[in-house]
Every structure is written in structure tokens, then in C-alpha cells.
Amino acid sequence: MTDRLPIYEIEQGIVDCLRRSPRLILQAPTGSGKSTQVPQILVEHGFAESGQVVILQPRRLAARLLAARVAHECRTQVGGKVGYQIRFENVSGPETKIKYVTEGILLRQMLKDPKLEGVQSLILDEFHERHLYGDITLARALELQATARPDLRLIVMSATLQASLLENYLQPCTVLSSEGRTFPVEIQFSRRSTGSLAAPIWEQAADAFANYAQKGGDGDVLVFMPGSFEIHQTIRAIGDRPESKGFLLLPLHGELPPGDQDAAVSRYDRRKIVVSTNVAETSLTIDGIRLVIDSGLARIPRYDPNRGINTLLIERISRASADQRTGRAGRTAPGICVRLWSSQEHIDRPLQELPEVKRLDLSEVVLTLKAAGISDLRSFRWLEPPDEPSLAHAEELLIDLGALRLAKPDSPHEGAQDTAELPERVSAGVGNDQKGEPILRITGLGRRMLAFPLHPRYSRMLLAAHEFGCVYQACLVAALTQGRDLLIRNPGKEAERFREDLFGDQVSSDFWILMKAWNYAAENQFRLDNCRKAGIHALTARQVAPLLSQFLRIAEREGLSVEQNSGSDAALQKCILIGFSDRVGVRLDQGTLRCELVHGRRGLLARESVVQKSRLFVASEIREIEGRDKLVNTLISLATAVEPGWLSELFPEDIQKQPRVFYDSTARRVYAEERLLFRDLPLERHRIETPPADAAARLLAEEIIADRLSLNHWNHEVDQWILRLNRLSQWCPELGLAPIHDDDRRHLIEQICHGAFSYKEIKDKPVKPIVKSWISSAQQEALDQQAPERLKLANGRTPKVVYVADGSPYAALRIQELYDVRETPRIAMKRIPVLMHILAPNMRPVQITQDLDGFWKEHYPRIKQELQRKYPKHEWR
């Protein structure tokens, strides 16, 4: 019974807190009834007399199922007193008092109704998940509460919250906790490491279930897996175990049809095993669960702003998420949670998931905030601010789409300013109108884009379609991209042959294939057998129809021509290009699927793409995804062929010719070409016969300096000449000698290379004459006198002097070669004594000194006595 749920133990506390203060943080454990009962408590106690209780849910599946549950408890139909609204579906009416919505829905409602006059109480459920739109909606609600709606009641709920962070953010507020009546759950960790040699995760889950069943475990079972593929494999693996006999095996994930989702949470006379994604981690309560088997994994969406790539990788969940999953086993009786990872691995997991504001594409949110009048996003009241690169990239994309424009703080929204310096300004975080700097404002086009509940890319594509007369086709393209893949991968040979006849082979976009497939499914009333014949997901195809109708209704409302005419393929291709211009790409070669895109990104064109023969294309989807083989690939899909002339037609300011001089390491030669660029992507290359001499010399010099090439005549003698010059300039600055530093050395090497274009031409070029030309002939004469290559000793010997960068110059001679030399030789106007390395007959040093006179007096007698016995044939004085 609902009145016995734990949340009712604090019913009066909830009511009293909301009467004293409009803000409440409510912490209650999983299964306490907060998601279903708190809205009913608010209605019963008068917090919905003048409006609705709106509950924000992070997931569409949860919003729909919770609404159905509460409607059943209230003995009404969904859409009456209790309703829900999710993206593309609104099941509510004028009499609705309790309304479950997904997070983006309310934020858009705030644009149309800034005062939220139809809402009296707002609940943000499962806030610990820190979804992007939840953060933004909370910030906007606080602003509204502080200005036009002080009567708005605001409740933030979760089983696990960073209470201190949120409490500081919501001040003044009240914090209320419910201990609930959860039963103890025994946590068992795997003894096996989750390394590459471990069994597949679904086999581990099947082992854990079989072990539980063999020990007589009772109740239902909930298994957490990261995605639909792993769910399918787990159901198969458990079904193969004899212990599963008598159990009902049910999948649960967001891509299932509503009926199958309902089946997973329904009650049965038989025991059941539900295999679910993290959709069952929160909000949804599945009664009777006594065993939770947790893979510890989830597919986590992320966005890399530096590469403009969406990633969907299987990652380890946080400890907080693991605790949420564990709690599902202690709902009605003591339970067990088997974690398929070790206790040591658990310690290494993060405490919380990274908030979505720090890992998702922000462009849609940025456009929404700009439409709401937020001029400076960097001073917006973020619970946790996004990373600057993510924010800057979102702004740059919206500028490219024409949705934002640089304007002075006091200019109107449509005020046009020069945007030539925009990328630099955006990356520097411009937009602080308190300082009087230019800021980014939404344009009229940007406001029109918000009419469509789509990513700004697709919104821009739809508006462009009006100009090109293909709105219907563009709406169908947008509808086809909102759900799961329409076409089944690897459908079998018969389906492949059927597709070849159905689709043909002369197509210029992957979207054309999807459109033909959907039209075929629609003509056959989405019948399962017909769809299976073509390898089409019948449910997905059926779900496209209401989306298409909704987009067409919005388009017609916005004044777009929605007639289903036979617009040219080129028209729609141009519209797609307008929405995805930063994803233009070229095939690197015809032998592989390797591609290069704008901004220096590279990836592989999907094998199933039909544009493999087109050198130039635009990609509507770029994602980094982990395959079943654990390899991560950057996959380019939903590609559309592009004609080079379209880029000049649609983006004339982004086309430029640029000369390029480069060194080919294979040919060891400098080449020059003129490139035609779209932004930074080379479209064409034309070889220039003779490269510029200065640039060629500079590139060859860089190879020499990096030791990838060598000059045969740049030898020790040249290095010593430079050292002599540099040291003498230090010792005798009055001589006015210019030293040769690293930059000067580079200049000299470039001078040696000047006029050459290949290594063959420079490897044997003379070096020393060019190096010595650094100083005048008179200075060269001074250098030879004051820092000579060789010394002139009193006994007529002329030993070579070795110069070093950070020590004394030295000369090395055998003892016999120093007879009759008493005075230490000095150079550099007699200022620098030469360090003498005195060698034995075997050429090994016996003394290093700058005091020859002292050597002969003090050390030579002893050394002579020792060496004379070893080398009696040598002269000893």
C-alpha cells in the first residue's frame, strides 16, 4: 500500500518545510516512494491549487512509467489528472495536476512562458545524476523564484546527493532526510580481475545467477548491463543455464517499445530476471528483487570539443552509482548484490559521475540560454561551470550556423558587428558586457531554430530547406536521426539482396537509403514480415511517422512550405551541408576508407556508407565508439556527397588559396604547391615547379638542425672555429666580435642551403667559407692571433688548442714534448691560461695544470721516477 511507503514518515515534515520556505532538498533512499508519492502529497496539501506539480525526470522511460504508476494509484487514466510529456510526445491535458516531464521540456516551456504561470511546484528528481538540462533548469528556476515567482515551490530530490554543494547553491533552503526502511544487502565482490583474459561480462553474470540459484536463493533478479547488445547476450547466457528454468527473462532499456518496457516492471506469478541498462538504477522500482548482479559498466556519452566528436564508450560506473544499484536488492527483504569486479578495483573507482555539463555538447543549451536573455554565459549561475573549450566550441558552432552574432552590449539583438575576430574572442571568453566588450547575441534565425526540438544543426537544416524547396524531405531526414538505427546491421544475405533491388546503387547520401527504407516500411504499414525482409527495425520505422508529422506541423506553423514536392537531391544535399559545414571531409585515397575532415580530424568512413566513391562529402555523424573487440574507432557515418562548387556558393568567405612549401622526407626534397582550402581542409593541390628559395632553404635547414640530414663538411674544425669566436668575444669584448648563437647558426645553415631544393644539392657543399664570412677579414686575423688553432711553444712545438663552451681551453702533449717549456701559454691578450694536459708515453694524462713552472719543480721528479721504470727507452731529463 502506498500509505505504508517510508516517505510518508516525513510527510508532515515536507509540508511544514514548504510552508516555511520555498526551497527544499529531500534525501530519501531508493524505493522509499519519493518519485511517486511526493507529488501526490503536494497535491493533497494544497501545493497545486493554482497550477501543476511538475516533476523533472532524467529519462523518458522513467517519466512515462512513473506517470502510469501514479495514474493507477489515483484511479485515473494517464493524460487526465496525471500525465507526462517527453520529447516528441505529450500525454497531458488542461486538468492535469501531476505532470512528469523530461528536463529539456520545461526549459523550453520557460522560453514560451518565462513566469511558468501554470506551474505551482517544481520537483527535480534523481538530481544526483547531474544531467545537463537539470542543472540549467534549476538555475533558471532559482532566478525565476528570486524575481517574478517567489511563490514557486522548488524541491530537489535524490537518494544520494552532494548535499553541501547543493545546499550552498540553494541557500536559503531546508534539508530533509528520510532514512526509509531498506533491508540489509550483502555485497559480494568478484575474485577475478576484469582484465583482457576475463570471461565476457554476460558469462560472468550467468555464473553469478547460477551460483545464487544453486544455493536456494529466492526472489527476482536484476542484472545491470551497459547496452542492448550486452543485455541480449546476458539473456542468452542465463537462458542456457539449467538454473533459469521457470524464470521469466525480460530486457529493459530505452529502445524497447512501451509494451516491452511495461512488461519488465510488471508483477508476475513466476519469478523473473530483468536485465537492464542503468535506466533501472534510479526512479523505477521493480518489486521483488532479491539479487542484483552488477556489471559495473555503463555506456557514457561524452563530447570532445577539441575534436568535435561524440563518444559513446563503455566505462566503469562510479561508487555512487554502484550504491544506487545495490539498493535495488534491499527494497522488500534482505538481498544480495554481486559486483563483477574486485574490492580493490572498487576503491579505484570515482566517487561520483562527472556532471553532464562537463562532458556533453553544449550548443543546444547555449542557444536556449541566449534566447532567454543570458548575455554573459560565463557569469551565469552555474551549479558547476562548464569547461571553457566546450563553451567556446558551442558558441563557434552557433556562429557558423548563423544563430549567434557578435554585438555591442547596448546594441539590439539583431545588431550586426564585424565578426572577423570572433574565433579569437570566443576562445578568450569574450562576452562580459559589464566591461563594455562585444558579446554574443541570438539572431532572428537562432530564435526560429528554437522552434524545433532538435539539435541546432538539424534546426538550421530545416530552415534552409525552405529556401531550397525541400522542407518535407529535410523533416524526414531529421525524424530518421532521432531514434535508434533504422537498418539492422548484418541482416543476412537475403535481406542484403532485397536491399540492393530496393535502394539501387546510384545514390549520393546515406540519408537517401534511410528515406527509401522508411518509405518502403510506411507503404507496407510497418508490417513486421515486410520490414524483416528488408532488414528494417519495424518499431523504429513506426516511431519515425509521428516525429515527421510533428516536425511538419512546426514547420508549417513557422511559415515554411511543407508540400511534398519532388525537390532535387542537390537541394537537400545543400541543406545538409549548411547544417554540418564543420564536418566536411575528403577521402585520403581510394584504396581505404581513411578520411580527413575540417579542423584536422581524421577517421574511417563507415563500411556501409554509399558515398565511398565520392571524394568530397559532409558527415552528419562522427563518433568515437568502443567495439565488441574493445578497440576504439573514430567512425564517420551518415555521409552525403558534396560538390566543390557548393562550398564556394554557400561559404564563399571560407574558401581560400594558400601556397604551401613542404619537405618530403622520402624524396629528401622540398616541394611547393598551391592548395585550395575550405577553412583548413585541402580540397585541391597544384604542384609549383620551383619552390621559393628562402622557404626551401629554411626547410632544409630545419632538417639539418634536427639531425635528420647532415652536411658532410660541417665537421669538428667548423665547430671549433665557432667556439673560438664565441669564447674570444667573451674574453675580449673590446674586439667587437659578434658571437654565433643558435639562431645565428640556423641562419648560416640556411645560407649554405640557399638555392638548393634537395639534400643531394647540399650534402657536399663547402661550409667553412660561409661560416668564416660571419666576421670581417680583420676580425678573422684577430681571431687567429688571440684564439689560435695552435700554440707556439718555446721549444718550437705547435700543439692544437681545444676550445670548450663552458671551461678553459686546453692542449695535450707528452712530457717529452714539453721539455724546455717553463711558462704556461696564455691566449686572448694573455688573459686566459691554457690548461695543459701532460701525458705519459702511453698518451694517458699524468697531470692537468695551468702552472707549468710548478709542475717541473714539484711534481715532475716523482712522476719521472715512476714512469722511467715503465718506459726506459724514452728520453728523461
User: Distance of CA 731 to CAs 607, 735, 809, Å?
Assistant: 70, 9, 12
Of the pLDDT bands very low, low, confident and very high (cuts 50, 70, 90), residue 748 is very high
Name the pLDDT band for 565 (thresholds 50, 70, 90): confident
Cα–Cα distance, 682 to 674 (Å, whole number): 10
For residues 674-696, give the mean pLDDT: 92
* Total residue count of the chain as it appears in this document: 877
Is pLDDT at 336 greater than 80 in this prediction? yes
Q: Sheet holding 681-688: strands in order across?
A: 655-664, 669-678, 681-688
Rounded to an integer, what distance in angstroms lies between the CA atom of residue 308 and that of residue 585? 13
Q: Average the pLDDT over 275-304 and give the result.
A: 83
Residue of 438, 694, 679 whose CA lies nearest to 581: 679
**pLDDT tens digits along 395-404:** 989 998 999 9
- Tell me: the pLDDT tens digits for 856-871? 999 999 999 989 988 9
Contacts of 559 (CB under 8 A, 6+ apart): 466
- pLDDT of residue 720 exceeding 50, the answer is yes
Give the type of residue at 782.
A
Which of 176, 246, 137 is closest to 9 using CA atoms?
176
**What whole-number percentage of the chain has pLDDT above 90?**
61
- Assign 548 to helix, strand or coil: helix
SS3 content of the chain, % helix, strand, coil (to 5): 40, 20, 35
The whole-chain average pLDDT of the chain stands at 88
Output the DSSP codes for 287-313: TTEEEEEE--EEEEEEEETTTTEEEEE
Predicted confidence (pLDDT) per residue in 730-740, tens digit? 999 999 999 99
Distance of CA 345 to the CA centre of its chain: 25
Q: Report DSSP state, residue 369.
A: H
Please name every residue paired with 837 in a beta bridge, in sequence order, or none if there are none: 812, 848
In angstroms, the CA 393 to CA 404 distance is 13
Which of 18-27, 593-602, 784-793 bottoms out in mean pLDDT, i.e. has the lowest?
A: 593-602
Kindly report the backbone phi and psi dihedral angles of residue 590, in degrees, each rounded to the nearest multiple of 5, phi listed first. Answer: -85, -15
Residues 6+ apart with CB under 8 A from 750: 694, 697, 698, 700, 701
Q: What is the mean pLDDT of residues 335-355?
A: 91
Q: CA angle 182-186-192, nearest 5°? A: 140
- Bridge partners (DSSP) of residue 263 are none
pLDDT reported for residue 227: 86
Tell me how far apart the alpha carbons of residues 422 and 153 are, in angstroms, rounded to a whole number: 41
- Taking 80 as the threshold, does the pLDDT of residue 313 lie above it? no
Residue 564 CB neighbours (<10 A): 12
Arithmetic mean of pLDDT, 447-451 = 92
What pLDDT does 420 receive?
A: 33
Q: C-alpha angle with apex 23: 22 to 26, nearest 5 degrees?
A: 130
Query: Identity (one letter) of the amino acid at 307?
Result: R
- CA 44: distance to chain centroid? 46
| Strand 289-294 with 220-224, pairing | parallel
Most confident stretch, 411-425, 476-490, 781-795 = 781-795
CA distance 242 to 374: 61
**3-state secondary structure (DSSP) of residue 3:** helix
Q: Which pLDDT band, with edges at 50, 70 and 90, does 821 fall under?
A: very high
Query: What is the per-residue pLDDT across 823-850, written as a single tens digit (0 to 9) for each?
Result: 999 999 999 999 999 999 999 999 999 9
For 200-230, write each residue's pLDDT tens digit. 999 999 999 999 999 999 999 999 999 888 9
**DSSP strand pairing (584-587 vs 616-626):** antiparallel
The confidence score (pLDDT) of residue 628 equals: 57
Determine the residue type at 859: H
CA atoms of 368 and 365, how far apart (whole Å): 5
What pLDDT, in 10s, does the model give residues 609-627? Answer: 889 888 899 999 887 766 5
Q: pLDDT category, 164, cuts 50, 70, 90?
A: confident
SS3 assignment, position 811: strand
What is the C-alpha to C-alpha distance for residues 846 and 839, in angstroms, rounded to an integer?
Answer: 6
287: confidence class by pLDDT, cuts 50, 70, 90: confident
Instruction: Reduce the secondary structure of 88-144 to three states and give it as a string.
Output: CEEECCCCCCEEEEEHHHHHHHHHHCCCCCCEEEEEECCHHHCCHHHHHHHHHHHHH
For 45-72, write each residue's pLDDT tens digit.
Answer: 999 988 999 999 988 888 998 999 999 9
Q: Give the list of residues 6+ apart from residue 862 with CB closer than 8 angstroms, or none.
A: none
Task: Say whether pLDDT at 465 is over 90.
Answer: yes
Asked if residue 168 has pLDDT above 70, the reply is yes
Quote the CA–CA distance of 217 and 211 in Å, as a whole number: 9
What is the pLDDT at residue 278? 83
Q: According to the model, what pLDDT value does residue 418 have?
A: 36
Q: Report how far apart the first and last C-alpha atoms of the chain are (Å, whole number).
A: 118
Mean pLDDT of 124-141: 89
Band of residue 419 on the pLDDT scale cut at 50, 70, 90 = very low
Query: How many CB atoms are located within 10 Å of the residue 318 CB?
Result: 18
Alpha helices in 334-470 (DSSP H): 343-347, 363-371, 388-400, 422-427, 444-449, 456-468
Residue 113 confidence (pLDDT) above 70: yes
- Read off the pLDDT band of 308 (50, 70, 90): low
pLDDT, mean of residues 89-112: 90
Residue among 803, 639, 646, 824 at smallest CA distance from 728: 803
Tally Cβ neighbours within 10 Å of residue 663. Answer: 22
Residue with cell 564556394: 648
- How high is the pLDDT of residue 488? 86
Report residue 192 as a C-alpha cell: 577475478
Rounded to 5°, the CA angle 713-718-720 comes to: 150
**Is a pLDDT exceeding 50 seen at residue 431?**
no
- Which residues, 6+ apart, have CB-to-CB distance to 3 below 8 Å? none
In three-state secondary structure terms, 609 is: coil
Confidence band for 459, pLDDT divided at 50, 70 and 90:
very high
Percent of the chain with pLDDT over 70: 92
Q: How many Å apart are CA 231 and CA 205, to the nearest integer?
A: 11
Quick one: which of 555, 433, 535 has its CA closest to 490?
A: 535
For residue 664, the cross-strand partners are 669
Rounded Cα gap, residues 440 and 432, in angstroms? 10
Residue 198 burial by Cβ neighbours in a 10 Å radius (0-12, 13-18, 19+): middle
Grid cell 517499445 — which residue? 257
CB within 8 Å of 362: residues ≥ 6 apart = 132, 386, 390, 391, 393, 394
Q: What is the mean pLDDT of residues 303-307?
A: 62
Among candidate residues 756, 600, 29, the one with its CA nearest the CA of residue 324: 29
d(CA 494, CA 210): 38
pLDDT value, residue 427: 33
CA distance 312 to 621: 12
Half-sphere exposure of 278 toward its Cβ, with a 13 Å CA cutoff? 23
The answer, yes or no, to whether residue 413 has pLDDT greater than 80, is no
